[in-house]
Chains A and B, each alone.
Chain A
């Protein structure tokens, strides 16, 4: 029987044994001794990479988004995409799927993802709870939309504002919307026209072609050239100095 070949395995023991052998052979430098400077003159310079080098020069991190549990209301961050996720607090399963509605719809949708209601779609006694909703279609009086993040109103949609709950609101280009009651949002982005009494905790952004009529109260206002503002304006970045302190 042939002698078994000794396997070369690098484990902790072999490393310690190798170091002891090197010390015996005086191959190791003395403790505290400086390592001699390496002569780099003979080494060729690194090749210059072309501008369109396929090498990865930057790591792109997946987008982070805030998920709000529909059951307990706990908010947590999610990186990347997934079909389902469990709430970090109550362990409730949250659907993260995206939905497109392009026909009459009368079921409930509860998702942390996005819901797109196309112009051909119509909500009939439907309840939509989603992270983001783009409403281009129509909805009847019994339907409601609740967004934990952005609600975009566009197309021919003309919903009753009382049926909408959102954190941030975007009015698409060409869209005209009128809110009769006070509109309280975090961020507001206008590419279309909005007539309302707006109170925003975040940024009110009027983009080119957008127009805000009514009243705007908040801390941050941004108007791009080409945007319109026909309103009473109360913008205090440091907070309202006239407001009573809490």
Chain B
């Protein structure tokens, strides 16, 4: 199994101060004071409390977050979610009941920005 498919679980009784980095998915049920950088899906459970920014491919929130959310693909806010911060994603799903204060930048119809053209290699002919 590749590390991208693995899910790391941080239990409800765990409190972390610092940055969490992972290429796979993370499920957080405890407290985090710091940043979370996740290559896969980030799931913030009902008991999760985050003070810091979260960056992931997709983010599912059931708990509380004081910080910005940046998802390459999707942000999903469940009814119990509380978000104080800005969000940016390609897709968004919000259930009735959420508390959300911040700026939202979600436009599913926008074209994804193309990656920058590779820099010309040295020795390659230049015009």
State the A residues within 8 Å of B (CB): 203, 211, 220-238
Known: A230-B106, A230-B107, A232-B103. A221 touches B98 (CB 8 A): yes
Complex Cα–Cα for A122 and B95 (A): 39
Contact of B94 among A211, A223, A236, A238 (CB under 8 A): A223
Contact of A220 among B97, B101, B105 (CB under 8 A): B97
Complex Cα–Cα for A222 and B81 (A): 12
State the B residues within 8 Å of A (CB): 74, 91-109
Tell me the minimal C-beta distance from A90 to chain B in angstroms: 37
| CB-based contact A228/B106 at 8 Å | yes
Q: Which residues of A contact B98 (CB under 8 A)?
A: 221, 235, 237
Contact of A228 among B96, B99, B101, B108 (CB under 8 A): B108
Q: What residue in chain B is nearest A229 (Cβ atoms)?
A: B104
Q: Which residues of A contact B103 (CB under 8 A)?
A: 231-233
Complex Cα–Cα for A228 and B108 (A): 6
Contact of A224 among B93, B99, B107 (CB under 8 A): B93
Q: Which residues of B contact A232 (CB under 8 A)?
A: 102-104
Complex Cα–Cα for A211 and B106 (A): 9
Q: What residue in chain A is nearest B74 (Cβ atoms)?
A: A225
